[in-house]
Amino acid sequence: MPRVGFILKPDKSDAGVLLEELVPWLRAQDHVPVVTAEDQIVPDGCEVVPESELGAAVDLAVVLGGDGTMLRAARLVSDHARPVLGINLGRLGFLVGFAPEHAKQALADALAGRLAHTKRMRLEVTLRRNGAPPVVRNALNDAVVHQGAMARLVEIDAFVDGEFVASYRADGLIIATPTGSTAYNMAAGGPIVSPNHAAMTLTPICAHALTNRPLVLSANSRIRLQLGTDLRGVLLTVDAQWGHSFLEGDVVEICAASAPLVMFAASKSFFDVMRDKLHWGARSDKGAHKGGS
């Protein structure tokens, strides 16, 4: 019997209502619904596991929430190559492509193998500190080195594949995947990258030198960030869900993670989503052929 895991957004009011609707529907088809103990909502007929065990316990995962909940799902299930279906109960919903009223049909199609899926690159982020084991985290969107509470520039030396790139004096640096290029990277003036491209972006946040521009790098690149000596308040954050402070001598290394996130794809194309979510101007000549005149 297929096992279907659920990951809920922090404000669980509407997510809980939809979960209560989906669980008996799944049970009637001999599927096993699984929820995490951390989400604290357990409808009748559900199995409960710690979120750290969810990836190994299910055949596919369903996100009931927004993009932030999808980031959490990526952290929980990607290493086990479990596909994720996103039901949008959030705001923008770049990553959760299905409306709640279509949840049953989307889930039925996913379970029957009728839904296409896509693989989204993730980052492997390693914090190295003298005399300590390395700390490793994976990111679907981005890794950010930034100043926290104080309005003070951060000094960062960036290297790509062992070659020195630049010394940045800025509010921080964003290393983003194509998926994350429409998040903090975009807000900081970085480029939008189609998710079917294998690339990383390196974008300074409010760089002191106006010539420090965003870079697009190969997904095979290995990025190394060395920080200056004044590290008061400087943080490393990964997908805005995990953070770590710095000590002098710390180094951050970033490369492509070995396991991507497998997502079920909605019918909209990347550019359909961009027009819809970012309110880009649509063409007025509705009958025009695709590809222009």
Burial of residue 40, with CB atoms counted within 10 A of its CB: 0-12 exposed, 13-18 middle, 19 or more buried: exposed
Catalytic residue among 67, 171, 239, 250: 67
Q: Residue 116's closest CA among 257, 268, 3?
A: 268
Q: Are 145 and 154 in contact (CB under 8 A)?
A: yes
Instruction: Give the integer Cα–Cα distance in Å for 62 and 68.
Output: 14
Smallest CA-to-CA distance from 174 within 133, 217, 211 is with 217
Q: What is the largest CA-CA distance in the chain?
A: 65
CA distance linking residue 180 with residue 71, whole number of Å: 10
Task: Assess whether 67 carries a catalytic annotation.
Answer: yes
3-state secondary structure of 75: helix
Residues involved in catalysis: 67
